[in-house]
Structure 1
Amino acid sequence: MAGDPGLFGPRSVTWQLHGDPMMWIAGVRALYLQALHPRAVRGVVQNSAAFQRNEQGRRDAWGRLMRTADFVGTLSYGTTDAAERAGAAVRRIHRALSATDPATGERYGVDDPALLLWVHCAEVDSYLHVLRRSGYPVGAAQADRYLDEQRESARLVGLDPDTVPGDRAALAAYFDRVRPELALTPEARGVDDFLRRPPAPAPLVPARAVLWGWVARLAYGALPAYAHELYGRPAPPPRAVTRRLRATGRLLRAIPPTVRWQLPPRHILRAVARLGPDTRPAPYKLRHGAAILDGHGDARGELRG
């Protein structure tokens, strides 16, 4: 490779997973899960216009989603320098923001490590869960390797990597510890309403009902049972959710990658141009991981959380 491979590089599990189109559905699942932590969701809602039902809210909502996709793409496929600069920018923004607990009046920073850890764990759990459940060939050992790799992403947002779960057992133990803190707050209800019916221009409302509605239902269905209980809305039977995730995965993966990667923010195209065509992310590099990755394992297991 002639160029800088970045934080993870083409031989990593992260490189293969984050190029999959099901990451968009996984990202929405992460938002649903993150919203159930009262302090974390207040930090988002009190510092964002994205959840306002007006023109400003509509612009900020979609802008926020694209900024998140750009950040994940930069960390996954950008140069080392670009990833470090993106992380520094996020840490700088977080240091300047705070939120208020309406019950106690306590003011706290959104860069509280406990809150950053919740956001991180909800994200990586959602990425792994949705991709594995939709048929992406991630073995058990490869899933553990992915979580270990993602400690580097956690470092960039301000966490000590040694405090971040680095395998499935540690991640499951973390969710067991934090579950008593989760609740359906008014802010979480607002996020739920936003994800079910995000603001859109009038001409796009019918498309929102069909296309985005499918994404939101899939993401909600993929949540753990305790999240469904907290939200108070039933989910389809787990087997039905798995069938729909697999069908959606087959449909989206049938679109040629060179077509999918043309969509913004195009980090994969830039990475392949920088490092060469052999570095393109692909599922087969996990299926035949003995020659590329250290991990082996079947793809039958599903993550807890």
Structure 2
Amino acid sequence: MSHHNDVVPHEDYGFFGPDSVSWKVFGYPTAMSIGFQRTVVTEMYEPFLLASVKDTGAVSKRPLLRYERTLQYMATVAFGDSASVLKASEILVKIHSKITGTEPISGLRYDANDPEAQLWIHLTAWHSVLYTYEKFGPGKLAPDEEDRYWAECARAAQFQTINLEDVPRSRAEMRAYYARMRPILAATETTQEHIEQLLDGADTVLPDSVLLWPVAKFMQAVFREATISTLPQWMRKMGGVRQSPVTGALATLTLRAYFRLIAQSVEAQRFLFRVASPLTYPVVDPILCGVPPKDPTVWTPEEARAHYGKLTPAEQYDRIRAARADESLPEHAAVDDSRALLAFN
């Protein structure tokens, strides 16, 4: 039993729970830091997603807000209780329903709820979190754990407008997915600008303190170089980022030691979440502190939707498209996400 009396427990274990591989991987300090940074950098190479990000100004105009909301969503799916996850999923579809427009290179329409776009976002996250766990954390999972990880990745995909048959179920299938996507990926000047900003993302989230400034700048540089070291050479070249092997190796060694140290202290992890992401902190705090939920149930998405009377994201998306057919939409609708749309707790 935890001695943390100040921690607010979740209602239930959500969709994974303490016996899941997801909790093991997402609960390690690499996931919500370097894993998250690699995720958002990699996402930018998909032209239709980039067009939506540029049109909404989510990265360029409101980087801290986008960082917090995206991290909060990722943590909620992994660790939140069933009601919170379903609510987050529902809100995400509603927000994305307002994000449509034209991709400038092809002239084709983009839709943030498009199943292919959502699959790219989902898989870059789950792959990046696992890859950085292996590279900067404890190392590779056992084969049976890895099989379970990809099965849980498919379960988490049910909270987005994703065709489940398209979700990889193994590392080999994940490689095949990247091979299929590579000819589609591209980098324009806008891509490179966004990648540069995201690689320096630590500057956005670290405290603006004169005393901490040297530490913050050092960690920003280390995280930048470590993230670049995880990208394949073709992706670095496309994104306009360069790195010497020595720089990448030094950043990797530094972060391995850092994460090993942080992983040994629950209080250090709690402090970092409080400082870096106040919205995510209440989601992860009960898990960090080992505080059990009020109800120890682990749900399936089907059971939870039946219990709460919720539509699937695909059903929501079908209704949105049907409604669009009855009205004239502007070329794109930038979302005003200045309000706490994703403040689930």
What range describes the TM-score normalised by the shorter chain of this pair?
0.7 to 0.9
Residue 258 (structure 2) aligns with? 248
Residue of structure 2 in register with 1:36 after alignment: 45
How does the TM-score come out when normalised to structure 2? 0.70
2:138 corresponds in structure 1 to 136
Aligned to 1:171: 174
Structure 1 unaligned blocks of 5 or more: 52-56, 279-305
Q: What secondary structure, in the 3-state scheme, does the structure 1 residue paired with 2:161 have? A: coil
Residue of structure 2 equivalent to 1:183:
186
Percent sequence identity is 25
C-alpha change, 1:222 and 1:91, in structure 2 (3 Å) is same
Please report the RMSD computed on the Cα atoms of aligned residues, expressed in angstroms. Answer: 2.7
* Superimposed CA distance per residue, residues 209-247 of structure 1 (whole angstroms, 9 cap, x where no aligned partner): 322222121111111222122123333426556434423
Q: In structure 1, what is the equivalent of residue 29 of structure 2?
A: 21
Deviates more, 1:204-213 or 1:185-194: 204-213
Q: What's the CA shift for 1:132?
A: 0.8
- Alignment CA distance shift 1:16-1:169 (3 Å): same
Query: Could you state the TM-score of these two structures normalised by the residue count of structure 1?
Result: 0.79
Q: Which residue of 1 aligns with 2:19?
A: 11
Letter of the 1:143 counterpart: E
Partner of 2:291: helix, strand, or coil? helix
Q: Is the 8 A contact 1:71 1:86 kept in 2?
A: yes
Q: CA deviation at 1:207?
A: 5.4
**1:107-126 pair list within 5 angstroms:** 107-126=109-128
CA distance in 1, matches of 2:209, 2:28: 31
Q: Corresponding residue for 1:299?
A: none
3-state SS in 2 of match to 1:275: coil
CA distance in 2, matches of 1:143, 1:114: 24
The secondary structure found in structure 2 opposite 1:20 is coil
Structure 2 residue aligned with 1:212: 220
Distance 1:248 1:236, change over 3 A: farther
Segment drifting more, 109-118 vs 207-216: 207-216
Partner of 1:100: 102
Q: Residue 161 of structure 1: CA displacement?
A: 2.1
The question of whether the paired residues in 1 share the 8 Å contact of 2:37 and 2:199 is answered with no
Q: Which residue number in structure 1 is paired with residue 284 of structure 2?
A: 268
2:78 to 76, 79, 83: 76
2:230 aligns with one of 222, 228, 245: 222
Partners of 2:68 and 2:285 lie apart in 1 by 17
Relative to 1, partners in 2 of residues 1:183 and 1:197: Cα closer, same or farther, differing over 3 Å? Answer: same
Report which stretch shifted further, 229-238 or 116-125: 229-238
Offset, 1:49:
4.0
Contact map agreement 1:222 1:241 (CA 8 A) in 2: no
Secondary structure at the aligned position of 1:9 is classed as coil
Give secondary structure in 2 for the equivalent of 1:118. Answer: helix
CA radius of gyration, larger in: 2
Q: What's the offset of the Cα at 1:65?
A: 0.9
Does structure 2 retain, via aligned residues, the 8 Å contact 1:99–1:110? no
| Match of residue 193 from structure 1 | 196
2-structure distance, mates of 1:233, 1:112 = 29
Q: Give secondary structure in 2 for the equivalent of 1:229.
A: helix
The AA in structure 2 aligned to 1:135 is G
Q: Which amino acid aligns with 1:29?
A: R
Structure 2 letter corresponding to 1:41: L
Structure 1 segments (4+ residues) deviating >6 Å: none
Which whole-Å deviations, capped at 9, do the CAs of 1:51-110 have from their partners, x for residues lacking one? 1xxxxx2xx211111111211121111111111111111011112211322234333211
> What is the SS of the residue equivalent to 1:46?
helix
Tell me how far apart the structure 1 counterparts of residues 160 and 213 of structure 2 sit (CA, whole Å).
35
- The SS at the match of 2:110 is strand
Code of the residue aligned with 1:147 in structure 2: it is W
3-state secondary structure, aligned to 2:182: helix
